[in-house]
A = this chain, B = another copy of it.
Amino acid sequence: MAPKLNVRHASQVACRDCSLSPLCLPLALKIEDIDDLDDIIKRGRPLKKGEHLFLEGDAFHSVFAVRSGALKTYTSTNEGEEQITEFYLPSELVGLSGLDTDTYPVSAQAIETTMVCEIPFDKLEKLADSHPALRRQIMRVMSKKIREDQQMKLLLSKKNADERIATFLINLASRFRRRGFSSQSFRLSMSRNEMGNYLGLAVETVSRVFTRFQKAELIHANGKEIEITNAMDLCTLAGGKLSDTPEVVNIQ
């Protein structure tokens, strides 16, 4: 339950004092270089649920690291319905898909109260010019995103509703665990609707799968509070190769 890392939420924590630094961009930098990164980072007020960080079509100028809370990114289909492309949790980097165009290709919106670190991209690029490790880290983040998208495409084109939800929960669990939180028990930051949208399912289907999973005693769900009661079977259902989620296999 309790975080293993001493997470601080104060507004103006410097990178060198931030508990997320071993997961975030600073991981590429030597101690003495972290302040260089810190110098270019802008930290604003928290975003309230529903507020946008940027809109699709806005001029691209910065990438953002989530400090606390959660974001979603989405595009709009031409019929005006939204398609959620990703959820972002603390330490994760938002906005990198825009860097080959002059505008953001998606909108980014807070799904709960959220704090971000803004990193102006021109300055980041300049810093990367003198810090090869930083630029390799950025490439790694992008490469990882491409691999995750491949998994997601597999999910969307081959998996059924049960497998999609199982995969989603296992993936969330492993992301919580990485940050030092329990992977057994956590709170979903997104609604059933958002989950369904992301997974290519109707809300009703999501709801029914949750009910089914509870009857099968795979999970216990109370609103957004989730407890994974049978991680092994859930993992098997997810059907993802274990290599994709090694962290979660190791049950505490």
Given A129-B132, A135-B135, answer yes or no on A146-B154 (Cβ-Cβ < 8 Å): no
Q: How far is the CB of A73 from chain B (nearest CB, A)?
A: 8
Interface of A, secondary structure class, is helix
> Are B96's CB and A154's CB within 8 A?
no
- Pick the residue among B75, B78, B129, B199 that contacts A239 (CB under 8 A): B78
Cβ of A83 under 8 Å from chain B: yes
Q: How far is the CA of A157 from the CA of B149 in the complex (A)?
A: 13
Q: How far is the CA of A199 from the CA of B129 in the complex (A)?
A: 39
Q: How far is the CB of A147 from chain B (nearest CB, A)?
A: 5
A155 closest partner in B (C-beta): B156
Cβ of A97 under 8 Å from chain B: yes
Copies per assembly: 2
> Are B241's CB and A99's CB within 8 A?
no
A residues 7-48 near B (Cβ < 8 Å) are none
> A138-176 vs B: 1/0 string, CB under 8 Å?
111111111101101110111000000000000000000
Binding site for B on A (CB under 8 A): 75, 77-79, 81, 83, 85, 96-101, 105-106, 125, 129, 132, 135-136, 138-147, 149-150, 152-154, 156-158, 197-200, 239-241
